[in-house]
């Protein structure tokens, strides 16, 4: 069952096409990720689907409700966690959830609140002021507030940005439990490792969707070998390989990834090139493409 349908959606700010003719569908009960860097159009897309922004053209529906004509009805059926979710620092955890229950006209919410506090592991902190919570706890509280009215779809705009690794892991466990309850999760993220957890992802760049499929199918679509080389100095190696091999080279911290068609011939050339230029090869291995490899490859192709 399709719970979100988007067709040729567009949104422009002054001379910038933030969302450029995108189309996709989301099925009930799946975790769908809209993935891309800052400025890709992710937040604009999610805000249009939640009825907070009016598109310039195109059409979209959420739970068979039109995002323009039925935006007030949509708000009663969805939860929305924005990048800057407004918790009230001078209210306790309990009081924040109560406040959002009243906004959504939820009566007799005590049992639901207790469930959410247990679900988000916030029960021991229910009397603590929101301003005294850690970043990860604030995100969990924001999620609890978004779920108090039992939405059918939860929209999450970069929910783990700025959250510590342990809290990120806990947050993902909570999202997995939401899926088990039959709630559809639509999220945006700049983190390609997080996208691996989604049922399907749409890779987005400069307002366009450049690939949409399961994470595994997107990785398989590259159909190339990745040579991962840890070396020093890495920036010198990156420049040399790029200039002399004329292959796509991607820089990741202390390593370079080289996208190859042929294996041994190119590898031998790279090894000799680096050694001849006094670059130490610390480790080398052949790896399967990651989503990050594919995304960089697709963006590079668009730029050429």
Whose tokens are 């009397």? That residue is: 127
Q: What is the mean pLDDT of the chain?
A: 91
175, 185 in Cβ contact below 8 A? yes
Identify which of 187, 189, 165, 184 has the alpha carbon closest to the alpha carbon of residue 295.
189
pLDDT digits (tens, 9 = 90+) for 244-263: 988 889 999 999 999 987 66
Whose tokens are 């011939």? That residue is: 265
pLDDT digits (tens, 9 = 90+) for 82-94: 877 678 889 999 9
Given a cut of 70, whether residue 23 has pLDDT beyond it is: yes
Q: Which two tokens stand for residue 270?
A: 């790279």
Section 102-112 average pLDDT: 89
Across the beta sheet with 78-81, what order do the strands follow? Answer: 78-81, 153-157, 184-189, 31-35, 200-205, 208-213
pLDDT digits (tens, 9 = 90+) for 184-211: 999 999 888 889 999 999 999 999 999 9
What pTM, to 2 d.p., does this model score?
0.87
Give the 3-state secondary structure of residue 25.
Answer: strand
Looking at domain 223-288, does it have CATH number 3.40.50.20? no
Helices (H), 22-164: 42-49, 71-75, 93-103, 110-119, 135-147
The DSSP code sequence of 204-221 is: EETTEEEEEE-HHHHHHT
The pLDDT assigned to 229 comes to 94
The pLDDT assigned to 9 comes to 97
Say which CATH topology domain 2-216 has: Rossmann fold (3.40.50)
Residue ranges of the chain that CATH labels 3.30.70.270: 223-288
How many Å apart are CA 178 and CA 192, to the nearest integer? 21
Given a cut of 80, whether residue 108 has pLDDT beyond it is: yes
Residue ranges of the chain that CATH labels 3.40.50.300: 2-216
Section 53-75 average pLDDT: 95
Given a cut of 90, whether residue 160 has pLDDT beyond it is: no
How far CA 88 is from CA of 98, 119, 121, 243, 265, in Å, comes to 11, 21, 19, 54, 61
């Amino acid at each position: 069952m399709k719970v979100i349908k988007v067709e040729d959606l567009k949104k422009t700010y002054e001379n910038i096409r933030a969302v450029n003719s995108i189309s996709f569908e989301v099925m009930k009960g799946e975790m769908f990720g809209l993935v891309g860097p800052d400025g890709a159009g992710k937040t604009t897309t999610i805000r249009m689907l939640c009825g907070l922004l009016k598109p310039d053209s195109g059409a979209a529906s959420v739970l068979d409700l039109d995002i323009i004509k039925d935006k007030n009805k949509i708000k009663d059926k969805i939860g929305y966690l924005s990048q800057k979710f407004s918790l009230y620092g001078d209210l306790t955890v309990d009081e924040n959830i109560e406040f959002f229950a009243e906004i959504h006209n939820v009566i007799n919410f005590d049992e639901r609140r207790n469930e959410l506090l247990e679900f988000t592991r916030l029960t021991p902190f229910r009397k603590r002021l929101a301003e005294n919570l850690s970043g990860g706890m604030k995100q969990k509280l924001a999620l609890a507030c978004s779920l108090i009215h039992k939405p059918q779809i939860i929209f999450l705009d970069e929910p783990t940005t700025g959250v510590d690794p342990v809290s990120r892991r806990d947050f993902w466990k909570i999202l997995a439990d939401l899926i088990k309850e039959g709630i559809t999760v639509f999220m945006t993220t700049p983190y390609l490792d997080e996208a691996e957890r989604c049922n399907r992802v749409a890779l987005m760049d400069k307002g366009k969707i450049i690939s949409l499929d399961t994470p595994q199918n997107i990785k398989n679509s590259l159909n190339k070998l990745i040579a991962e080389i840890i070396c020093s100095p890495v920036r010198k190696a990156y420049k040399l390989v790029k200039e002399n091999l004329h292959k796509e080279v991607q820089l990741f911290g202390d390593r370079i990834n080289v996208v190859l068609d042929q294996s041994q011939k190119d590898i031998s050339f790279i090894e000799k090139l680096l050694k001849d230029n006094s670059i130490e090869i610390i480790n080398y291995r052949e790896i399967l493409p990651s989503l990050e490899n594919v995304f960089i490859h697709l963006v590079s192709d668009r730029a050429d």
